[in-house]
Amino acid sequence: MNLQIIGCSHHQSNVSIREQLAFSEAQIKPFLEKFYLQFPNSEAVLLSTCNRTEFFAAGESNQSLPSQQEMVNFLAGERGISCSEIEDGLYRLNDREAVRHLFGVAASLDSMVVGETQILAQVKRAYELAIESNRPIPLTHRVFQSAIQVARRVANETKLHSNRVSVPSVAVNVLAKQIFERLDNKRILVVGAGDMASETLAYLKGEGGSDIVVVNRTPENAKALADQFNGRTEGWSQLADEVAAADLIISTTGATEPVIDVALFDSIESQRNLKPLFMLDLAVPRDVQPEVGERQNVYLYTLDDLQKVCDRNLKSRKSQFPKAVKILDQETDRFLSEMRGRASDSTIVALRDQANQTKEAELTWLMNRIGDDISDEQRATIEQAFHRLVNKMLHSPLKSVRDDSEQGSNSLLEAVRRLFQLGD
């Protein structure tokens, strides 16, 4: 098996290159169809996410694959850009390093946030789109199915995915759940309409949060965020009333002074009847005066508090990295060994078939010449001698081919195929 990857990712390519090489899902199948028109003997997969674009090509031999430069040219051509614009931002991987890279991507060892789970679903979807192109992709099938299995093994045998490492995820799945047993019956107030608020709401929505109110000085921005999560808006003048009614507050404005200060909280505290209040102050400078967090049943967390938890969890994940890398190396060696075994097995079967066909033809010729002058027992002895001769003559060369393949070499394999004209 021969595998090549041309790609770019957040590790070494800037945003402008990644943007130029990004594909929507709807663009991937037409891309693959054009590729097959130009390179009909190859297999291909295209993976495109916000942080990476990777173009995989596989083939039984180097002759069936485009060169790496041809892959770069094709990729650039489909994006309508010159190769010189992207050349420096691309990496090129072959065979073992390509297999290991794919396994690492699927297991989230190559992600911006190591251990995030979204990438495995993206790898699966890229593989599914390749299948939907209605081309047989047996080699790609093997390597992508193995990548999925490796990702599952890493997930099962390490704690790489066990700790949350993004601020919104920690806020909702770690801290909020320490205070509330459930979130689907809680009133959520969003003050401001920034990206962090949107991302945090996405996690809350995933945990069942549905009673969402957005308050922002710019009504249009408030409505846009509320519409995204089927929430509603209130005017800035209603901020105090909404704080009084809320169970959970996310504040992320661009204000230079606190928007929820002690005076505001004092004015509504009696209305709350000591109901627990979880507050996420995600703004810099802070939106919530620190003294508010000292009030009874108020749980106030700032961006610094959340980042400390994220850093602690990330450190825990990194401690699992060596174990995950060991699994990656083991599985890469196992996969390549199996593929080499498949290649040598097919050659061994082909050579045995060829030898047996020759043996049967010669036996038929000999028996026709002898006719009925020998007994059935003598005939069986001759056939057995021919069979033993073929097996003994093939034993040493076939063992050498198998041993050579297991050691990662294809030199004897290719020599035998050429010598005995076994074809592809």
3-class secondary structure, 14: coil
Q: What is the CA radius of gyration of the chain?
A: 32
- What pLDDT score does 218 carry? 93
Which candidate in 8, 50, 83, 310 is catalytic?
A: 50
| DSSP bridge partners of 214 | 190, 233
Cβ proximity of 339 and 404 under 8 Å: no
Per-residue pLDDT at 289: 96
Structure tokens at 256: 């230079």
- Tell me the C-alpha distance between 300 and 413, whole Å: 68
- pLDDT value of position 59: 86
Fold classification of 2-162 is Beta Polymerase; domain 2 (3.30.460)
Question: What residue type is assigned to position 311 of the chain?
Answer: D
| Residue 392 CA from chain centroid, whole number | 49
- Tell which residue, 144, 114, 136, has the closest CA to residue 46: 144
DSSP string, 347-398: HHHHHHHHHHHHHHHHHHHHHHHHTTSS-HHHHHHHHHHHHHHHHHHHHHHH
How does DSSP assign 156-178, residue by residue? HHS-TTSS--SHHHHIIIIIIHH
* CA 157 – CA 120 distance, rounded (Å): 16
Query: Which residues, 6 or more positions from 245, have their beta carbon under 8 angstroms from its beta carbon?
Result: 187, 189
55's tokens? 């173009």
Judge whether 190 and 212 are in contact, CB under 8 Å. Answer: yes
Q: Which helix (H) or strand (E) holds 413?
A: helix 411-419
CATH class, domain 167-310, is: alpha beta
Residue 348 in tokens: 């061994």
pLDDT digits (tens, 9 = 90+) for 233-287: 999 999 999 999 999 999 999 889 999 999 999 999 999 999 999 999 988 889 9
Strands (E), 226-295: 232-234, 248-251, 277-281
Distance separating alpha carbons of residues 415 and 424, to the nearest angstrom: 12
| CA count, 13 A, side-chain hemisphere, 397 | 20
Amino acid 154: pLDDT:
94
For residue 181, give the 3-state DSSP assignment: coil
How would you label 291-325 residue by residue, b for 16+ Cβ within 10 Å and e otherwise? ebbeeeebbbbbbebbeebbeebbeebeebeeebb
Q: Has 50 been annotated as catalytic?
A: yes
Whole-number pLDDT of residue 341: 67
- Region(s) of the chain under CATH 3.40.50.720: 167-310
The answer to whether the beta carbons of residues 35 and 124 sit under 8 Å apart is no
Q: Give the model's pLDDT for residue 306.
A: 83
Q: Quick one: pLDDT at residue 1?
A: 66
What order of strands is seen across the sheet that includes strand 248-251? Answer: 232-234, 211-215, 187-191, 248-251, 277-281, 298-302
| Cβ–Cβ under 8 Å, residues 254 and 277 | no
Each residue's pLDDT tens digit, 63-105? 778 999 999 999 999 999 998 888 888 999 998 999 999 999 9
- Mean pLDDT, 10 residues at a time, the chain of 424 residues: 89 84 91 93 91 90 84 92 88 93 93 80 94 85 94 91 74 85 94 87 90 95 94 96 96 92 96 95 91 95 84 80 93 85 72 86 89 86 90 84 70 78 71
At residue 408, the pLDDT reads 62
Q: What are the start and end residues of each CATH 3.30.460.30 domain in the chain?
A: 2-162
pLDDT of residue 64: 76
**Cα–Cα dist 358/301, whole Å:** 81
